[in-house]
Structure 1
């Protein structure tokens, strides 16, 4: 039996993205960008996932992050409310 590791990792990314979308308040609670990079749940994404964040430092109350694995992405915006968007680049 062959296992398609890329498909497995895409599924892992999709499942984690769905968990965050379902209850973003459980995941998005940061005082600084540094706190985002220290978040333990980032390790639940598959190996090879990348992320970047901006905002919150220097007194900013806004936050934006992008988490990507291959062409799949999860964007998180915190302005007046939390917005979490999942998608696939090029679709």
Structure 2
């Protein structure tokens, strides 16, 4: 039996993104951008996942983050309310 590790990792990313989208309060509690980078759940994404965040450190009440693995993405926007989008970009 052959295992497609890329497909498995994409599925791992999608499952974690869906959990974050379903329960954002359990994942998104940051006072600063550095808190985002210290979040333990980031390590649950597959190896090779990248992330970036902006906001908060300059005293702003807004926060934005993008997490990507290959063509999969999860974007988090915290303005008046939390908005989370996840999906697959066309290659």
Q: Shorter-chain-normalised TM-score: which range?
A: over 0.9
- 2:32 maps to 32
SS in 1 for 2:17: helix
Runs of 4+ in 1 over 4 A off after TM superposition: none
2:75 is matched with which residue? 75
Distance 1:24 1:55 in 2: 18
Separation of aligned partners in 1, 2:10 and 2:90: 16
Equivalenced residues, count: 91
Structural RMSD (CA): 1.0
* Structure-2 residue corresponding to 1:85: 85
The question of 1:21 aligning with 2:21 is answered yes
Q: Provide structure 1 residue ranges, at least 5 long, that are not aligned to the other structure.
A: none
SS of 1:51 mapped into structure 2: strand
TM-score, normalising length: structure 1: 0.97
With the length of structure 2 as denominator, give the TM-score of the two structures: 0.97
